Amino acid sequence: MSRTRVYFDGYDLTKFCHVSDLREPLLSRNITSVTVPGRDGSMLTGANLTERTLTLTITLMGKDIEERRASARMLAAILDVDSARPLALSIDGGLYYLAIPNADADGMLACNATRYDVTFRCLDPVAYGAERIVTVPSGGSATFDVGGTYPTMPNVSVAAAGNAANGYWRLSLDDGDYLQAQIPSGVSTAPIEADCQGRVLKVNGTVKMLHSLSDWLVFEPGRHELTMQGSGEAIVTFVERWL
């Protein structure tokens, strides 16, 4: 059986070191509750995922301490990042986390190996998979499937959007939620860019407030339909996510 390979920020760490003792939670949640007078137990007030932490033991091999010290410096350079980067394990079938590493615990120096525990903090606790693209034709609809086990939020891009008869451009999801924008008066069409994850809407290059009755689109795993009111082909992209 082939050994598990570990990739971080495009580097295959298992090319020059042994990786072992993977430790990670199955599901880490923050559960809050309150005690209600006269009621047994407690009442649930909230539950949300907390950040995921993956810890690996990395062992540097070499014929002498100088060779292992050089490998340690190379490893430190790879791990020295200032933002979350992709972390992938070959056993996960192409899924990856966005993680930032830390290895502040003292390493163990033996006569023929140097060992470090490296902790990867995934502030976003879910794994990412394939990117999908859905095209919604001008004034039409599109049916598509969302894989994964966790909701995802799309980016929507329209090069030349036009208002419908009601004075708005709208993209509706099958559950009734819709993303809505208004093309400024004086122009027939304008570009729309909506980042539902980052909660940023731009119309004709200007950041706009989301309409009070509309909402950012959220795709649950499963089959969905998007329907457009107005004109302009919409390109909808999203990345499947997994617990």
Per-residue pLDDT of 98-152, as tens digits, reads 999 998 767 676 667 788 899 999 999 999 999 999 999 999 999 999 999 999 9
Q: Which helix (H) or strand (E) holds 197?
A: none
C-alpha 101/C-alpha 97 separation (Å) is 12
Q: Side-chain half-sphere of 138: how many Cα atoms within 13 Å?
A: 9
pTM for this entry: 0.84
Q: Tokens standing for 1?
A: 């059986």
**Domains of the chain as residue ranges with CATH:** 6-125 (2.40.30.200), 130-242 (2.60.120.860)
How does pLDDT run across 137-185, given as a tens digit for each residue?
A: 999 999 999 999 999 999 999 999 999 988 999 999 997 899 999 999 8
Predicted pLDDT of residue 79: 93
Pick from 123, 128, 52, 54: which is nearest to 93 by CA? 128
Chain position carrying tokens 């809505």: 180
Cβ distance 181 to 217 under 8 Å?
no
C-alpha 120/C-alpha 96 separation (Å) is 12
3-state secondary structure at position 178: strand
Q: Residue 1: is its pLDDT beyond 60?
A: no
Chain position carrying tokens 């410096």: 73
